[in-house]
Structure 1
Amino acid sequence: LGFSVYEKGFDYRYALFVLLCAPEYFLPLRNLGQSYHIKINALAAAKQLAYWFDENNSLEKNSNKPLLLNVTQAPFSFSLNKVTLVYPDGRVGVNNLNLKIKAGKTTALIGASGSGKSSVLRALCGFLKPQDGSIFINDVSYDTFDTKDLVNHIAYIPQQPKLFYGTLFDNFSMGRSDITHERVIDVLVKLNIKDFINNFPGGFCYILGDDGKRVSGGQARIISLIRALLTDKDIFLFDEPTSSLDEELELKVLDGFFNNFPNKTVVIAAHRTNLIKYADEVIAIDGR
């Protein structure tokens, strides 16, 4: 329009009219594009959830399988025997991996990006089934137990923690009636960050946006860590849990965690030196 006005004498009043109308004219097309992306995201999410709604995988369907605590007790060890993990899109997570993780200890998994650390954590959660090989918990095959029962004993923090629209306290409690403000504060004190709530206007009532909006990456990781600790599980699987924290805050949180939550089986995918030094054992992963 500018060149038409400048070079061809197009009436600037018409040009201004077109500029004013253009956003409204193209709005339906833009909305269509947004709706398309929302649909694609929804389909991807539904695909991930499909396993849990499959009647063949339901707890009721597999009620003949024993519960974990009826067969063995905490602390829990893990072993992977010649495990190959393949994602639905064909990507290989790890190939022919052998791995042993000691019960009641902290194990750091190290390796280059793409080496399979996150894939191992997902497999230990039961989210990724081995294409070949076997996974054992306390020397009992994962196939012995119902996946949903196994998940009940695991607290997992992925690389991108999932937060939802609601108050800060809602994101801590996840709807559990036994979680109180006092329990949250107790965890904060143990993590050496008792003033963490004061960083949010309104404290526990502060509203988080969808998928972690209105909080920083570091705050999201601390919220997810607190949420995991409130579940009081025996197994913690953490994927770079302190990657967005500055060094001073990272050391405070790690000191608090390892000094106040003992006798847990902790498996951490780690790059940062501060995190690795707290591990009882460090295992290099090169699952390709």
Structure 2
Amino acid sequence: MNQETKSGQIFDLPTLKRLYTFVRPYQGKFYLLIAIIMINAVLAPLTPLLIKYTIDKPIAEGNYNQLALMLAVMVVVLIVQGFVQFWNTYMAGWLGQYIIRDIRVQLYEKIIGLRLKFFDNTPIGRLVTRTISDVETLSNVFSDGMAAIAGDILQLVLIIGVMFYTDWKLSIISLSMIPLMLFCTYVFKEKIKDAFNEVRAAVSNLNSFVQEHITGMSIVQIFSSEDIEYKKFEEINKVHRDANIRSILYYSIYFPVADVISAAGTGLVVWYGSKQILNAEVTFGTVTAFVMFINLFFRPIRQLADRFNTLQMGIVSTDRILTLLDSDEYTANDGTHVPEKLRGEVEFKDVWFAYNDEDYVLKNINFKVNEGEKIAFVGATGAGKSSIINLLSRFYDINKGQIFIDGREVHEFELTALRRNIGVVLQDVFLFSDTIENNIRLGDDTITHEKIVEAAKLVGVHDFIERLPGGYTYNVMERGATLSVGQRQLISFVRAMVHDPKIIVLDEATSSVDSETEELIQKAIETLMKGRTAVVIAHRLSTIQEANKIIVVDKGEIKEEGTHEQLLEKEGFYANLYRMQYKEVLKIG
């Protein structure tokens, strides 16, 4: 069954045990909440008993002094009940919010550690649902779930006990409507559960659709697909609306029916109790107390159906959250080596890699780059060039073979230390909605403003940044939307330079920028690679003619390698690619 629509078991003990691990840091507050709920349940039948005594004794006997005393006692009891109810509500909410804060932190920490393969196969909207909607649903488990259910059940048991102790005949009459109420509650619980499952699935679909289409809005508008996408959204939203209306319908039916059943129970008590009063078998105070008992008794039964559904949804949300937290789709950080400084020697030995099972996109890759050398990969789209650079930083792990840096296998390196020493500059540069300075620093407070300015001057973008409103404090907006492709790429060079990696991995595409920006980018690339080992994906062969080694990749295999001159002499793949690109240059010229 789809995880978005399946229902949980209310008493799923393994899940509840895991859920308790989140409670453990606050177990003192949790036990205090349980104690408050128990006190609240004990206080519930006290008011009817006090009213019974007041009617049968002070009022019946005309004892005004005792009546004043009883009224004062009832006021004190009501104040205590209000005080206990306040702490019940506050503590449940406080506990829920602190726990979901911890869970969200754990979830986000988990998500940012997941390997890229996980994000390739998981819609972003689903992850948003996990960290926002599912966690919010889980908070209700603490404010309206297990503890509240336990309190309701304890209250019912105490009220039944007090009722039978007071008058067993009136108790049987009072409880005669319970089977009908329980039947209606069960039907409502099942119906509302199905409706909530549909709502949950619709919310997940809405999140996925909106996130995906807002991100890809430029494509929607370029192809004039606004009306088509609007109709798709309208349909998904309609499903969400209909599911919510169904849940509203069930609530609209259930609560009036429950009130009618409760009123019928009250009517039976009044009818039977009146006869008993006339026959002098019970007192007026007893009948009055039983009318109050019925209201106290039926209220938690009405709430239980809702609370059980809350708990059930919470169990499902917990299960989905735990599935994500338990995911093994992460890059194992089991290495311990933290180098002070890398030399920058890179070697691939018999490397095989597949994104899915054994559908290999890289086959038997072997090459070596010495310290300070520049190696370039060329080949058609889909040949496997990007896969090679992704493996070096362990964004993906290889299936077979070995990758060495400075003679050490990459798995021996502590992951953060490894990635800090490898600067990756991709063609599609991602900038966060933040200032230019923060996008360069990326939270590393050891990088000073002066260091950023110095790197920007070296790359040749300082003047461009200073011309922007606010300079380095200019907000580039989401994905760097207010900057051009070339400007974003230049900022990514500054970002790579201030982190001072020994190895640079570069996707140096410049096909989508003007000639002036391209010249700036080429100068920036030369500055960035100076004194560093460089692994480059080449799109224009004219930019890599000085590389120490050029490797031609086709269908995941190395077909040729050598210098520019050596490869031209071979009259193979590289020579053909070069002639084709040279012809394109001539045509453009």
TM-score for both structures, normalised by structure 1: 0.73
Q: Offset at 1:184?
A: 2.3
| Aligned equivalents of 1:227, 1:100: Cα separation in 2 | 27
Note the alpha carbon deviations across 1:224-253, whole angstroms, 9 max, x for none: 111111101111111235444333332334
Find the partner of 1:67 among 338, 352, 377. 338
1:35 is matched with 207
Note the alpha carbon deviations across 1:158-198, whole angstroms, 9 max, x for none: 23222111111111111222333332222222223331214
Equivalent residue letter for 2:338:
L
Aligned pairs for 1:1-288 (under 5 A) are: 34-37=206-209, 57-58=332-333, 62=334, 65-69=336-340, 74-88=342-356, 92-240=360-508, 242-259=510-527, 262-286=530-554, 287-288=556-557
For structure 1, the residue ranges without an aligned partner over 5 or more in a row are: 1-29
- Number of equivalent positions: 245
> Structure 1: which 4+ aligned runs deviate by more than 4 Å?
30-34, 38-41, 88-91
Shift in alpha-carbon separation, 1:33–1:230, aligned structure 2, 3 A: same
Equivalent residue letter for 1:66:
H
Instruction: Report the aligned-residue RMSD.
Output: 3.1
Instruction: After superposing the two structures, state which structure 1 stretch, 30-39 or 261-270, moved more.
Output: 30-39
SS in 1 for 2:457: helix
Equivalent residue letter for 1:57:
A
| Aligned equivalents of 1:94, 1:209: Cα separation in 2 | 37
Q: Offset at 1:219?
A: 1.4
2:99 is matched with none
Note the alpha carbon deviations across 1:84-120, whole angstroms, 9 max, x for none: 1111487633112112222211211111111111100
Shift in alpha-carbon separation, 1:66–1:203, aligned structure 2, 3 A: closer
Q: Offset at 1:156?
A: 0.9
| Aligned equivalents of 2:387, 2:528: Cα separation in 1 | 28
Shift in alpha-carbon separation, 1:94–1:199, aligned structure 2, 3 A: farther
> Which entry has the higher C-alpha Rg, 1 or 2?
2
| Aligned equivalents of 2:332, 2:342: Cα separation in 1 | 25
Shift in alpha-carbon separation, 1:260–1:88, aligned structure 2, 3 A: closer
Equivalent residue letter for 1:182:
E
SS in 1 for 2:462: coil
Instruction: After superposing the two structures, state which structure 1 stretch, 272-281 or 183-192, moved more.
Output: 272-281
Higher strand share: 1
8 Å CA contact retained: 1:82, 1:98 = yes
8 Å CA contact retained: 1:101, 1:107 = yes
Shift in alpha-carbon separation, 1:243–1:183, aligned structure 2, 3 A: farther
| Aligned equivalents of 1:194, 1:106: Cα separation in 2 | 26
Higher helix share: 2
SS in 2 for 1:99: strand
| Aligned equivalents of 1:40, 1:192: Cα separation in 2 | 35
Shift in alpha-carbon separation, 1:159–1:51, aligned structure 2, 3 A: farther
8 Å CA contact retained: 2:384, 2:553 = yes
| Aligned equivalents of 2:447, 2:342: Cα separation in 1 | 23
| Aligned equivalents of 1:144, 1:184: Cα separation in 2 | 31
| Aligned equivalents of 2:204, 2:345: Cα separation in 1 | 50
Equivalent residue letter for 1:220:
R
For structure 2, the residue ranges without an aligned partner over 5 or more in a row are: 1-201, 214-319, 558-589
Equivalent residue letter for 2:507:
D
TM-score for both structures, normalised by structure 2: 0.38
Shift in alpha-carbon separation, 1:278–1:214, aligned structure 2, 3 A: farther
| Aligned equivalents of 2:545, 2:205: Cα separation in 1 | 48
8 Å CA contact retained: 2:432, 2:478 = yes
